[in-house]
Structure 1
């Protein structure tokens, strides 16, 4: 009952509902790509290169004659998978760091100094440095983005843990001699789910943009992997004569990231008691 009520309240905002519908459509298009298009995303046809939108190629073709619609739908699988793995990894690692730093006073200073050091670098520069060190593979890009966004989550979780740790019910279970691990996972962590969920949606959006930026700069996933970022990066030199090769993958990136941001804003507004009272 509570999840359904939460979903109804979330969908009450039209902009959030539109963003959610768009995300569902993009996800379904990625999953059902083999049934929605007859073209293979990697099949080249030089005689059909840079063909404009229309006819059998609804969104046109790229510089190698590959169907752009097929590449965007198949590319959504990689872009969404990279973003999902990044968001999940950053939330899990950041939550663990934030919990330990906020609950154990002796760990607070060293862990937060490490987090501060990582956050002192701009996200994209730190990601570029990590990928350059690790190598431009799909796994390494995800690993680099996880390390980049983990400090964000750790900061938020630590701040909330410091508040929850001092509440009376936590003091009561500690006085009863309950194990520390049980206090953390059964009594403190459930009270942190709201900010964690919001951070998950935001990092999902950030990761899509970051992967596209890394690919555009030539330090992302290998060019043969058809992510939206590699499509824009590989076709940018032809944009002056065939705008669609950059426009449509760019629109996919923007719409997905914007929808995730709007969904995250809606979740935050719904879960934050202060914002509810203000409304």
Structure 2
């Protein structure tokens, strides 16, 4: 499950939703000959059978669990390419990661650290901030703070070079304010439902770069996702990347799971099991 599933319910996602529609953008299962594959779809995942394209599906190593593989598929690939492809994070730079205890954020914290970056994680509760610290973040900030930009820069020891953004509204503005001259902001969502604008004057005043990112634009690339999945599988197997796993719900309780996802009361990756 991903927050994109909530967007398609509301028809507020980047691509319009035509009914009838089955949600679900990542699946794991076995082929008719017994091979275990994880794959990305454009919907259709909440089902007993799913169709995936060979270019967006990968054989899963025996020592990687179903839940780990699902965490890597959409959110792991997104975290990898947000940092490496869109933001082009360099060793020694400071990166701000929102929802740092969530499925994507928890992976991004670890991947950024593996790249040699300093990480400031944002999280809304004491429990989540503790987890982000355990994952290796150099500093953790309360994402609900009314003075978010100041707290980020104070925790980072000054303005930051890179920030990921998926909330919109006041969080978007705070992250722009926290960027150093020539800083880069990569936008990959708007969970608050608020689409944010930025003036060209603000961009020029500090030579800020703002980039958008949506993983499906890499689906037709013959090497991008195969490269990142290989790297992600290798990191999990080596122990340098730990997917944070949340509850697994029966498929019939998808609505309950959506309630949990909307409330952000969970930690880690939520999954649905059609066999339960």
Structure 2 length-normalised TM: 0.27
Larger Rg: 1
Give the structure, 1 or 2, with the largest relative contact order (CA under 8 Å, sep 6 or more). Answer: 1
Structure with more strand by fraction: 2
Structure 1 length-normalised TM: 0.26
